[in-house]
Amino acid sequence: MKVVTTKNGLKSILDTFRGEGRSIGLVPTMGALHEGHASLVRRSVRENDVTVVSVFVNPTQFNDKNDLKNYPRTLEADCVLLGKEGASVVFAPSVEEMYPEEDTRVFSFAPLDTVMEGACRPGHFNGVAQIVSKLFYAVEPDRAYFGEKDFQQLAIIREMVRQLELPLQIVPCPIVREADGLAMSSRNTLLSAEERERALTISRTLFSSLDYAKSNALDATMAFVEDAINATPGLELEYYRIVDGNTLQDISSWDESEYVVGCIALFCGKVRLIDNIVYKNN
Ligand code: PAF
């Protein structure tokens, strides 16, 4: 496994692979890797000849300076995991390498980016689109792998690929959960033992809401989730939306869409967590 920090270094390695006719998979990450990332890497290793994993904490997608400062950075441990999982190349550039000058590109993915994370974290998806498009241009992958935990991000990246007419396939990968149900996230390492326990309410509530939804209306199911979160001290709900899984717009009854997803964002102490659950995908 090679570790490179420059776009030129990356290009010369990948040109050789491409010259040999090998397919390239890309797994974009911000590091602090866990089993969720490992599952993306394994899938890419299965489906491509070469797997590139980028490890870059992208400043332009953070709308909160403290969140950027506190984001876990564990490159050495990340490389150990990636070596074990069979990645071929780790691309770990500096901020200056990715942004030699300010990126002034402004994307519009409306209405996908005007709701949920887009409404709560202004500029977040523009930053995601800036870095992911730069990574796509630098790697020119055949396939790129993204986790469904970041459900809205996945929809937006698909839309970006469509708008920019990029010749690659976006491969969505299922949420990976801890044995007790908590969705894996690099941010989980920031939780104290007590917060970690409280955070369990998120997945437990979402899974109970699947049952509840079988015999209750959509607005009652939303209230069921909101009430459970609001009743847990230490959790501060930012939003719970039940949306059409393609348009990400709110729906008001179960019959309104064939693809129905519930998306949640909340603070557990100072740590912001997201999760989602699919009610229906026919
Ligand atoms: O999902 C993430 O970790 C990041 O948003 C991504 C896609 C690596 C872009 O920085």
Burial 95-106 (b: 16+ CB within 10 A, else e): eebbbeeebeee
Give the CATH architecture of domain 2-173.
3-Layer(aba) Sandwich (3.40)
Whether omega before 167 lies within 30 degrees of 0, making that bond cis, reads no
What pairs with residue 236 in β-bridges?
A: 267
Under a CB-based contact definition with an 8 Å cutoff, are residues 2 and 13 in contact? Answer: yes
pLDDT tens for 98-128 read 999 999 999 999 999 999 999 999 999 999 9
pLDDT at 11: 98
pLDDT of amino acid 263: 98
pLDDT at residue number 234: 97
- The answer for 181, left when phi > 0, alpha when psi is -120 to 50, beta otherwise, is left
Alpha-carbon distance of 178 to 215, in angstroms, equals: 28
Distance 180 CA to ligand 1 centre (A): 25
Residues of the chain with pLDDT under 70: none
Whether the Cβ atoms of residue 67 and residue 272 lie closer than 8 Å to each other: yes
For residue 129, the CA-to-ligand 1 centroid distance in Å is 9
Give the model's pLDDT for residue 236: 98
- Which residue has the least CA distance to atom 6 on ligand 1? 29
Please give the CATH architecture assigned to the domain spanning 186-274: 2-Layer Sandwich (3.30)
Contact 187, 66 (CB under 8 A): no
* Ligand 1 midpoint to CA 279 (Å): 25
98 CB less than 6 Å from ligand 1?
no
The answer, yes or no, to whether any atom of ligand 1 lies below 6 A from the CB of 132, is yes
What's the pLDDT at 277? Answer: 98
Nearest protein CA to atom 2 of ligand 1, as residue: 29
**How much is the pLDDT for 94?**
98
Q: Give every strand in the sheet of 2-4, ordered side by side.
A: 2-4, 89-91, 50-55, 24-29, 143-147, 169-173
Residue-range domain boundaries for the chain: 2-173, 186-274
DSSP string, 184-210: P-GGGGGS-HHHHHHHHHHHHHHHHHH
- The pLDDT tens digits of the residues spanning 210-257 come to 999 999 999 999 999 999 999 999 999 999 999 999 999 999 999 999
> Do strands 50-55 and 169-173 pair parallel, antiparallel, or not at all (unpaired)?
unpaired
Compute the Cα dihedral for 233, 235, 237, 243 and give only its sign.
negative
Q: How far is CA 134 from the centre of its chain?
A: 17
The CA 99 to ligand 1 mean position distance, Å, reads 16
| CA-based torsion, 101, 79, 50, 152: positive or negative | negative
Instruction: Find, among 187, 117, 100, the residue nearest to 157 by Cα.
Output: 117
> Tokens at residue 230, please?
């609001």
At residue 202, the pLDDT reads 98
Distance CA 141, CA 194 (A): 41
Dump the DSSP string for 203-270: HHHHHHHHHHHHTS-HHHHHHHHHHHHHTSTTEEEEEEEEEETTT--B-SSGGG-SEEEEEEEEEETT
Closest ligand 1 atom, residue 56 Cα: 10
Give me the pLDDT at residue 200, please. Answer: 98
Q: Which of 29, 32, 37, 213 is catalytic?
A: 37
User: 262 - beta bridge partners?
Assistant: 242, 277
Q: Give the pLDDT score at 191.
A: 97
Catalytic (active site) residue 34: no
Report the candidate in 216, 272, 269, 210 with the shortest Cα–Cα distance to residue 239.
Answer: 272
Does the Cβ of 277 fall within 6 Å of ligand 1? no
